[in-house]
Chain A
């Protein structure tokens, strides 16, 4: 490990974290290139944490934001990168750039239009790490890492999960049911109040994963569904912090990122890691 490629100012500014992960990891962070798809409150937390960690422009660009949705009043309750005066005037991605740049004038930050471009392999190749939030599940299927792909993880035998961790898994199942509803509806605002429809999707999931319907609690699902698209700052701070933590680990290769599914339950404040899917990484 050496300080060779970090200048004296950087060593001073990043002192407290270099002491945690070392010079070599800090060096890797400076060169990181990250695509952030979706600029909700949680992405704001993630990208804030990454940019603060010390990305530095090397002529190729560090951060690219993608989100064509126009900034709205309700974004301001958790998406602190969007200044109030930008509401209604530009996309959430465009509106976030200036505040983000202030956090680290040395990073190069841009935004790119066209949400469907996330499927564009040429674009994806430019980045070390892609962060998707707010996305429909079909977008998430694009990623193949050394970890189980999103698809593998999600098609894991869920019934294996039922042992011992009933409470967590109820939340996990409810989340999956919500995703399935959203996928079916092709949008994040699925008809979750329609009990018949919910049960229809639920029964399909049960069949596919050999689960009993009792794994799904109607009441829990209703509570969860009511909170769709509701970004609560404290939860964004927690989940966004956890995500960024493990993105840094992935970028630096210093430690293994969480494997592989983090569930935060605000009801009791617990955060649990589930290991889903086949383990290619273990060989």
Chain B
């Protein structure tokens, strides 16, 4: 009715994320009659976004997602007042007082950290947060309101699985171990300084490509072989044979995505990408790991496959290696469109004062259950009374004060484990 329409026109909404869900969400919001919209995204447009982020075109690649999305979606209704911010939602300017200016906040994010951050501010300011997420054919929508439904911290989320340090450094037995190692090697040589990346000692980007190969895949491996206790129940590695490959020509052409390179090609690719990164490091200084940077990706591909070869592990195609290294999650337009439609439907209920009618919506890949649901509504989870974020719960910690440093407490426990952005530490 007209009254409901007026509420949509007047509602101020914030869209956090202008990616897969964000583009679809902005479309539905503008077409449905929302007129006061702000959108925040720190990212720039990549060509791999174009299969689904339909507000973007080839010519927009490398531009700000937030800015382009706002500009393009405005064409659907020029009366819409839409403000774009190219920035990280965790910046101070988007803090509690900023978020307080909105009636509804939408999370259209792809990572846990930012989701959790927005959820906490919304809980603190008692704002309504509608969080959407997708993964391939699957998706979900959850509405969060302090005291009414569970917040993002009510249920502990499983920590992303890591690997034991010695598996990565000394005893890999799966392709993923070699790929994680390859990223460490890249970071160690070209990335920001971080002790956890020290997978090989005594190398730097000052060495030439042959010296690096020699150090990493021959000397280091021989050292490992010498540690007999490691190989009591494992097959020891075999150092790389480099003699015949010293004068390999450049590969020149693009690396095939779906065929595994030969050992010779892999060595050549290692040298070629190493030399290129060395040259870039002189120009650009410290580089950040980026799976979409072809040279960096080729370096990690070559390094991890050489490592795999040395440890008699299957070498991977570029396509597969990139998926593992970049932790790539498949994404399609249709799931994002479905989830965005469902998010706005929840928003309409909120604006009509029917928070009690809000449901969590799950999208399944296949119809499931006796009723053959493919979109499944369920009641919102209730807040967890012990939640430290939304229900005032407290955390008790037992620390060994002899061993724990303040820095460990601050960075590993407060920031990493408890997800505190800028913790205030008081003593007494």
Contacts and interface: CB of A to CB of B under 8 A. Distances in A.
Interface string A56-86: 0000000000000000000011101001100
B371 A272 contact: yes
Contacts of A248: 334
A102 interface: yes
Contact of A245 (B57, B335, B341, B371): B335
A269 B375 contact: yes
A97 interface: no
23 contacts: A3-B258, A3-B319, A16-B330, A17-B331, A20-B137, A20-B330, A20-B331, A20-B332, A45-B337, A49-B334, A76-B76, A83-B75, A164-B370, A234-B32, A234-B348, A236-B341, A237-B337, A238-B341, A241-B341, A244-B337, A266-B345, A269-B375, A272-B371
B329 to A, nearest CB: 8
Interface in B23-42: 24, 27-28, 31-33
A258 interface: yes
A70 B235 CA distance: 74
B367 A273 contact: yes
A27 B76 CA distance: 32
Contacts of A15: 48, 51, 328
A16 B258 CA distance: 15
A38 B361 CA distance: 30
Interface in A252-272: 258, 262, 264, 266, 268-272
A78 B334 CA distance: 16
A13 B49 CA distance: 7
Given A3-B257, A16-B52, A76 B77 contact: yes
A241 B374 contact: no
Contacts of B361: 269
Given A16-B51, A52-B52, A238-B341, A270 B335 contact: no
Given A269-B345, A270-B373, A270-B377, A16 B338 contact: no
A234 B341 contact: yes
Given A48-B333, A234-B345, A266-B345, A17 B51 contact: yes
B136 interface: yes
Interface of A: 1-3, 8-9, 11-17, 19-20, 23, 41, 45, 48-49, 52-54, 76-78, 80, 83-84, 102-103, 105, 164-165, 168, 232-238, 240-242, 244-245, 248, 258, 262, 264, 266, 268-275
Ranked nearest first, the 6 interchain pairs of A and B with the lowest CB-CB distance are A271-B375, A237-B341, A241-B337, A233-B31, A20-B330, A238-B341
Nearest to A104: B50
A105 B50 CA distance: 12
Interface string B37-73: 0000000000110111010011000000000000000
Given A234-B342, A237-B340, 15 more contacts: A13-B48, A20-B332, A48-B54, A54-B51, A233-B341, A235-B341, A237-B27, A237-B337, A241-B333, A241-B334, A245-B137, A245-B338, A272-B375, A273-B367, A273-B374
A87 to B, nearest CB: 13
Interface residues of B, number: 56
Interface in B83-121: none
Given A3-B257, A13-B51, A245-B334, A80 B76 contact: yes
Contacts of A271: 363, 373-375
Nearest to B53: A52
Contacts of A14: 51
Contacts of A268: 359, 377
Contacts of B223: none
B371 A242 contact: no
Nearest to A168: B371
Given A80-B27, A266-B345, A13 B50 contact: yes
B28 A13 contact: no
A79 B331 CA distance: 24
A237 B29 CA distance: 11
B323 interface: yes
A269 B377 contact: yes
A272 B136 contact: no
A236 to B, nearest CB: 7
B27 A242 contact: no
Interface in B205-259: 254, 256-258
Contacts of B413: none
A268 B354 CA distance: 12
Contacts of B50: 13, 52
Contacts of B331: 16-17, 20
A168 B369 CA distance: 14
B398 interface: no
Given A52-B54, A233-B31, A237-B338, A1 B258 contact: yes
A3 B254 CA distance: 13
A169 to B, nearest CB: 11
Contacts of B27: 80, 233, 237
Of A8, A270, A274, most B-chain CB atoms within 10 Å: A270
A129 to B, nearest CB: 15
A3 B75 contact: no
Nearest to A269: B377
B31 A77 contact: yes
Contact of A49 (B323, B337, B344): B337
